[in-house]
Structure 1
Amino acid sequence: MAASPYLPEAARVLSVRSLTAMERLFDLEFADGRALGHAPGQFVQVSLLGIGECPISICSSPTRPQRFQLCIRKAGVVTAALHALRGGDMVGIRGPLGRGFDVSELHGKDVLIVAGGLGLAPARSLIQYVIDERARFGAFHLLYGAKHPSELLFREDLHAWRDDPAVDFHMTVDRPDEGWRGRVGVVTTLFRELPPLDPQRTVVAVIGPPVMFKFVLLEVLARRIPQGRVYCSLERRMKCGVGKCGHCQANDVYVCQEGPVFTYGRLKALREAIE
C-alpha cells in the first residue's frame, strides 16, 4: 500500500476482456512492478484523472502476484470510462483496502464457498487461493448461482472448476434460456447436492447480494456450522475506503474498514447491513 491511503499509485492496464455484456475483466500491474499484496476479499479504489474513482473487489489470488485482476461492471460514469480503456492505458489504484478473509483460519478445514451474481468476482480471489494451496485444505465445495446464463462470469474458470476432481462444484441459474442444460433454481437449491458437512471442521464463505444472505444463512446454520466460522462479504456502497466519508456505514461500523468480510456472529448485530 502507498505511504498515504489517500494517494493513488500508477497502474498499467495489461489487457481488457469482456465477460458479459456488462462486465469486463482487467489485468493490471503497478508501474513500479511491485505486487499488490492483498488478502482474498479485499478491494481497491480505481481512479481516472478528471473523472473520479470507484471501489472494485480484487478477483485474483495473492498466490498469483505478478499481476492482479479486477472485474468491473459498467454502472456509472467512472465504470463507463474504465470500460473504454485498452491495454497500455494507466489508472490510479488505492489499496488494498478493507479486511478480507483470514486464510490462516481456513487452513486445515473443509471449505464451502457460496457465491451469487457479481459476488463471484470477490469470491474468485478466495477460490483461486484454495485451489493454488490445495494441500492446506480439506474438502472444497463451491456453489454458484446467477440470474440468467448470459450473466455467468468467468466461463473458462467455470469449466475448469467443473472438471477439477478436487473441487465439488455446482452451478445454477434462476431463469434459463433455450440452450441452457444445467440446473435451474436459486442458489440455495444447490445445498441438496452437498454431502453431509462436518460442523466441527467446516468453514463457510457467503459472497453475493444482500437478498441472498438470509436464505443461504438458513441453510448453513441448519447444518450446525458455528457462527464464528461463517464468513459473509458485504456488497455496500463505498466512497473513500478509509472510514472517513460514512457512505458505507452500517450501524456504527464502517464496512470499508472493518469489512467487507465479517463473521456471521459479528454480522448479527448489524441487521441494517443485510436487510
Structure 2
Amino acid sequence: MQNLIMPTPYRILDIKKVTEIEFLFRIEYPEAKNIQFGQFMQISLPKIGECPISVTDFSAEEGWIEFLIRKVGIVTDELFNLHAGDLMPLRGPYGKGFDMKNYEGKKVVIATGGSGLAPVRSLINHIYKNPESVKEMELLFGFKDDSSILFRDEVIAWRKKHPMILTVDKGCGLDGECVGLVTEYVPQLKMTSDGFEDLEVIIVGPPNMMKYTALEFEKLGVPAEKIWVSFERKMSCAIGKCGHCRIDEVYVCLEGPVFNYSQAKYLID
C-alpha cells in the first residue's frame, strides 16, 4: 500500500540566484511527466519540517523540476544550506493545476503579481514553445521594483513573441515604461476588447491582487467562469487530513490550488 505522506529523496542538480532573496532550485525528478501546470509539492527536511512549494517549471523529457524558493521561515532557511549534489526529500505532486485542455485553441491572458509568476511559469513556457496550442497569449506582470523582476531573461524572450505589459510599483521596469499596480493596466489589454467567447484569464498573486484584478476583468464584462486563480494558502499534510487549508467546506490542497473564479470568489478566508 502506498504511503501518501512518505517523502522520497531526489538529487539537487543546480541552484541559481534569481533575485537578492529568491533562488531557483533544479531537482532531478524522473517522474516529471506526472506533473500538471500549477501543482505543488511538499519539501520535507528531517527534524526540521515541511513546506509546500509550487512547481515553477519541469521537463518530462529531461527529468527535472524547478522550485523558486525564498527565505521566509524555518524550513526554507534550512534549504539554503543545501548545495548541488545534495538530496532534497519531496512528496507529491499535489492538488489540481491549470488544465491545458481549458486553454487550447483560445485566447489566454495571464496576469501575475510578484512571486505569483512562479506557479504559472511552466504554463507560459509551454505556450511559448508551442504557440499553436492557443490562439494567442497576452501577459500582464506586476513587481515591486526592477530588482524584484523574476526570470528576467525569460520575460524578455516571452515579450518578443507575445503582447506583454510589465509594471512596477515604483522606479523603473525593464524599459521604465509602466509604473503602478496590475489592476490599472487591465483595461489596456488588447484581448479584453475583442469579446470574451474564446477568452480565458489566469490570475496568480497575493490574495488582494487576485481579488481586485478579477474585479477589473469583471468590470470589462469577462464572466467569472472565464477567470482562473491559484490560492497559495498554508498547507501541512497536502492530502486533506489536517484541515489547515480548509475554507468553509473546501480543502484547498485537494480541490485547488487552482480554482475557477465562479467558485473562488466565495471562498473568503
Q: For the superposition of Structure 1 and Structure 2, which TM-score range results when normalised by the shorter chain?
A: over 0.9
Equivalent position to 2:185, from 168, 190, 194 = 190
List gaps (5 residues or longer) in structure 1: none
Shift, 1:177, TM fit: 5.7
Q: Which residue in 2 is equivalent to 1:82?
A: 79
SS at match of 1:170: strand
Q: Answer whether contact 1:41 1:101 (CA < 8 A) is retained.
A: yes
Q: Answer whether contact 2:128 2:158 (CA < 8 A) is retained.
A: no
Shift, 1:110, TM fit: 0.4
Residues 218, 60 of structure 1: CA spacing in aligned structure 2 closer, same or farther, 3 A cutoff?
A: same
Q: Which residue in 2 is equivalent to 1:20?
A: 19
Distance 1:27 1:45 in 2: 15
Shift, 1:161, TM fit: 1.3
Q: Which stretch of structure 1 is more off in the superposition, 141-150 or 192-201?
A: 192-201
Shift, 1:199, TM fit: 0.5
Equivalent position to 1:132, from 129, 132, 135 = 129
Q: Answer whether contact 1:117 1:208 (CA < 8 A) is retained.
A: yes
Q: Which stretch of structure 1 is more off in the superposition, 125-134 or 195-204?
A: 125-134
TM-score by length of structure 2 reads 0.93
* Aligned pairs for 1:1-275 within 5 A: 3-30=2-29, 33-35=30-32, 37-61=34-58, 66-164=63-161, 167-176=162-171, 181-195=176-190, 196-272=193-269
Cα RMSD (Å): 1.9
- Could you give the per-residue CA deviations for residues 130-151 of structure 1, whole angstroms, max 9, x where no partner exists? 2223211011001000112221
Amino acid at match of 2:188: E
Give every structure 1 segment of 4 or more consecutive aligned residues whose post-TM-superposition deviation is greater than 3 Å. Answer: 61-65, 177-180
Say how many residue pairs are matched. 267
Q: Answer whether contact 1:59 1:69 (CA < 8 A) is retained.
A: yes
List gaps (5 residues or longer) in structure 2: none
Amino acid at match of 2:253: C
- Identity of matched residues, %: 39
Residues 63, 226 of structure 1: CA spacing in aligned structure 2 closer, same or farther, 3 A cutoff?
A: farther
Amino acid at match of 2:186: F
Shift, 1:61, TM fit: 4.5
Distance 1:64 1:49 in 2: 30
